[in-house]
């Protein structure tokens, strides 16, 4: 059974296209990841070279203006991007971060993200967190009964 875009929120549709693009570029994305309590990224991905990218999906001007949590994500990644639908005024989004235009089918980088290298210990911890969450989610797809055995903090 596949999830139809009709059942998805606008930000989830953007995240779907971003994930398709990232996979095509060789990165391994995970959606809705909490790097630390109180934050949840739209898309976090690990690049082949070990870089961690975070992509914050903004579906509208109102969505961007109502969310100030994205600045908390900066200390958890090497590169930070906004993803927005084509037509969203790109001057609305801070120009010191990367920018992607996306839809439910794909994405493209409009403006590259400046690299801000993570400390080695934080990179290791974040990479392990991403791996654990991805593995537990995959296990849950293969065996839905195991979900009840997993702590909610593991997701």
Write the CB contacts of 76 (distance below 8 Å, at least 6 apart in sequence).
35, 36, 39, 41, 44, 52, 54, 118, 122, 126
Q: What ranges do the domains of the chain cover?
A: 5-143
Domain boundaries 5-143, CATH class: alpha beta
1 contacts 11 by C-beta, under 8 angstroms = no
Q: Is it the case that residue 4 has pLDDT exceeding 80?
A: no
Q: Is it the case that residue 2 has pLDDT exceeding 60?
A: no
Write the CB contacts of 128 (distance below 8 Å, at least 6 apart in sequence).
none
Percentage, residues of the chain above pLDDT 70: 90
> What global pTM score does this model have?
0.89
Calculate the average pLDDT of the chain: 89
In this predicted structure, what is the pLDDT of residue 111?
94
């Amino acid at each position: 059974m596949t999830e139809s875009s009709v059942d998805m929120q606008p930000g989830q549709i953007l995240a779907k296209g971003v994930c398709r693009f990232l996979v095509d570029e060789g990165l391994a994305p995970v959606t809705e990841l909490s790097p630390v309590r109180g934050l949840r990224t739209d898309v976090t991905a690990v690049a082949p070279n070990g870089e961690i990218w975070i992509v914050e999906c903004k579906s509208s001007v109102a969505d961007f203006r109502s969310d100030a949590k994205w600045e908390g994500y900066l200390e958890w990644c090497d590169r930070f991007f906004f993803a927005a639908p084509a037509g969203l005024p790109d001057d609305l989004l801070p120009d010191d971060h990367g920018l992607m235009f996306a839809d439910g089918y794909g994405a493209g980088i409009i403006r590259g993200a400046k690299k801000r290298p993570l400390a080695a210990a934080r990179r290791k911890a974040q990479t392990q967190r991403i791996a654990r969450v991805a593995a537990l989610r995959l296990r849950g797809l293969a065996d839905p009964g195991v979900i009840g055995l997993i702590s909610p903090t593991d997701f």
